[in-house]
Structure 1
Amino acid sequence: MDWNTSIKDYSLYLRLERGMSDNTLEAYIRDVRKLKDFLLLIESTEKPNTLTRDDIMQFMMYLNKEFFLATSSQARILSSLKSFFLYLNETDQTENNPVELIEAPRLPKKLPDTLEVEEIDNLIAAINHTTYEGRRNHAIIEVLYGCGLRVSELINLTLDCLYFEEGFIKVVGKGDKERFVPIGEEAIHQVDLYLQNDRHTKTPKKGSESILFLNRRGAKLTRVMIFTIVKRLAEEIQLGKNISPHTFRHSFASHMVEGGADLRAVQEMLGHESITTTEIYTHLNKDYLQQVVTEFHPRVN
């Protein structure tokens, strides 16, 4: 078993069977290659199926000494290596998993930044509604916040994904997995205004004919464009927070959970594979928790 073949086969596995995006796949492969390069550096002849726990520990110590890795980077590399060796186990290329008993460093829990409803209203109020871009951007913000979408999901929305009579939109998420997400009246209203008064004024570029949100040249918006829209609005109102399009997704989830929404329902709407990913939004304030206890605990009243 040689490193190049193992890495090539693993890459195909991540793409075809795990359905990973290009960026995530490249990160996983890059971490495995770091291990391979380290072994070359120390002139080791170890192959993937002969590595031991000590080899991995030596590799991690080298990375820490040379690059002063942050805790998050250490955890990510170990996670990538664990996935690689699990793949080798599952495909009967080795019975050994040298990463299995290595404990990843504990990551400090960082809660995502969120916006208050008033701050979202202020961002929308700063939009110039006299322009095509402004009216389109209002619809974009309403959909980002109202449906909790990822940026990639937003820019890839198509006209046939809109089921407004039923109150849903169809979203294609990570790994091309489809889900239906409820959409509120205000978001529907703003998207309808954009469709009726603006979008038809642009001749779609080839390949963008069915895309919902177009730029002024008729092409699909890019991730960078959405980031720019949000950053400029934040600067316009001197928000004082470092926000991104993903902040609206965090705000959607946080406000839903704080309002009493079932965590499983929020998980479904966000398209999270694991409920543990959604649980980060249970960072409710103490006043709200006290209110819940007062309202529902039989011994409090």
Structure 2
Amino acid sequence: MEMKPYRLELIRPSTVLPLIHDVRQEFDLGPFEPTMWRTNDVPLIAAILNRDNKIHWLSTTYLAERALESTSLTGDTVRSYGYSLVLWLNYLSSKNLLLELVTEADLQIFRNTVWNRNSGFSEPRQKAYRSTVIARVETARRFHEWGQSNGKFFSPLGMGGPMRYTLPPEQRLPKIVKATELKNIIGIAPEPYNLAFKWAVTAGLRRFELCGLSKGQVESLTYGDLNEIGEMDVYRKGGRLITTYFPNALLHDTIWYIQTSRPTPKKGMEDVLFLSPNGYKLQREEISRVFRRCADKFGIGAVLHHLRHTFAVTTLEILQRKANAGGSVNPLKTLQILMGHRSLESTQIYLRAMDVYSDEVAEALSFLYGAASVA
């Protein structure tokens, strides 16, 4: 496959920024210098390199500033910005367009190209989500606005007004994993992946949140009746500490794992809950791969993130029941908090999904929570 003109390099600052002194001697960084020096305190920074492995300083400095502004614990925000900018720069290169001369019309064509996934430009296996397309286009626009307003480079695009999106409305509903599918996947998944899957589907945790669970915090929790719901504070997306709920039966399973089969941790991994066989913290990508392999064995067309969808829909059903029974609870607002959504609009789609998957929700409630689902 032909190498693209630009690629993204993700960097853990603590491992490479001591070398910045050498970089400063070779390059005249000018206004970039203060930004680059302060990035040693963020979880991730991103550099964009060309075919000759030379840094594209304009985009890399923009990404460094975004890293400083981000509250992400894992660097996912700057990673997303980086992928979007690489896509944009490679598109400009493929069309022989100069960064300083692109216009609103060029950005509109780029938007359509990403939406339709034109052959040769990008090769994903399925059509892009509308929200993803908008994020890619908005990143390109903000980069040009930054360049124009800060005097980094002249840009007609950077002086434009807000863009009018005309993409088709999103038609995809959140997908839930049926109770029988959950039983099959969890039944063949090795430890501790089976436990990670259970935490994902009963607490709505993202991959990085699963990987960040603490052994000490779990051990400090009070045992309760197996049919009751426990709670634990977890750092969620954006660095927010949010109370997370789970069946006590899952806590018992997790303590049993710690006491009987958790591998001996490597140095620095002592308080990590989920460890790989060699004693290191589970990686997000590996959790997804194991889930995919288990699902494929049963011909189940689900991915790991669908466990989070399942949590959302089943939890909304529980909250709706409580509200209908006279409880003082706002189901959508409560679910928004539990999901860690900043916007209520992101949560509302689960209302429609709950109606579509009503039968599956009832089965999933019984499998995940048992008697606790109607408490």
TM-score bracket for the superposition, by shorter chain length: 0.7 to 0.9
Task: Assess, with a 3 A threshold, how the Cα gap between structure 1 residues 143 and 59 changes in structure 2: closer, same or farther.
Answer: closer
Is it true that 1:53 corresponds to 2:104 in the alignment? yes
Structure 1 residue runs of 5 or longer lacking an equivalent are 289-301
Which AA in structure 2 matches 1:142?
K
Q: What are the superposed Cα offsets for residues 1-24 of structure 1, whole Å, 9 maximum, x if unpaired?
A: 9xx554233211221103442531
Is it true that 1:285 corresponds to 2:355 in the alignment? yes
How far has the Cα of 1:188 moved from its partner?
0.8
Which AA in structure 2 matches 1:281?
Y
Aligned pair partner of 1:16 in 62, 68, 83: 68
Match of 2:141 in 1: 82
Is contact 1:114-1:251 (8 Å) kept? yes
User: How far apart, in 2, do the equivalents of 1:66 and 1:158 lie?
Assistant: 44
Alignment map for 1:9-158 (pairs within 5 Å): 9-18=61-70, 19=72, 20-21=75-76, 22-34=78-90, 37=93, 41-42=96-97, 44=98, 47=100, 52-57=103-108, 67=120, 72=129, 74-85=133-144, 87=146, 96-98=158-160, 100-124=162-186, 126-127=187-188, 133-134=190-191, 136-158=192-214
Which AA in structure 1 matches 2:355?
N
How far has the Cα of 1:271 moved from its partner?
1.6
User: How far apart, in 1, do the equivalents of 2:159 and 2:318 lie?
Assistant: 44
How many residue pairs get matched? 272
User: How far apart, in 2, do the equivalents of 1:10 and 1:38 lie?
Assistant: 22
Match of 1:159 in 2: 215
Alignment map for 1:116-265 (pairs within 5 Å): 116-124=178-186, 126-127=187-188, 133-134=190-191, 136-162=192-218, 164-165=221-222, 167-199=230-262, 202-236=263-297, 238=298, 240-261=299-320, 262-265=331-334
How far has the Cα of 1:260 moved from its partner?
3.4
How far has the Cα of 1:66 moved from its partner?
7.3
Secondary structure, counterpart of 2:354 in structure 1? coil
Task: Assess, with a 3 A threshold, how the Cα gap between structure 1 residues 176 and 37 changes in structure 2: closer, same or farther.
Answer: farther
Q: Which has the higher contact order (CA 8 A, sep 6+)?
A: 1
Which AA in structure 1 matches 2:292?
K
**209-218 or 114-123: bigger deviation:** 114-123
Task: Assess, with a 3 A threshold, how the Cα gap between structure 1 residues 271 and 99 changes in structure 2: closer, same or farther.
Answer: same
User: How far apart, in 2, do the equivalents of 1:235 and 1:107 lie?
Assistant: 30
User: How far apart, in 2, do the equivalents of 1:211 and 1:149 lie?
Assistant: 16
Structure 2 residue runs of 5 or longer lacking an equivalent are 1-30, 32-55, 224-229, 321-330, 359-375
Q: What are the superposed Cα offsets for residues 118-145 of structure 1, whole Å, 9 maximum, x if unpaired?
A: 4323434x348xxxx44x3442232111
Which AA in structure 2 matches 1:264?
K
How far has the Cα of 1:212 moved from its partner?
0.2
Which AA in structure 2 matches 1:227?
S
Task: Assess, with a 3 A threshold, how the Cα gap between structure 1 residues 59 and 241 changes in structure 2: closer, same or farther.
Answer: closer
Is contact 2:269-2:279 (8 Å) kept? yes
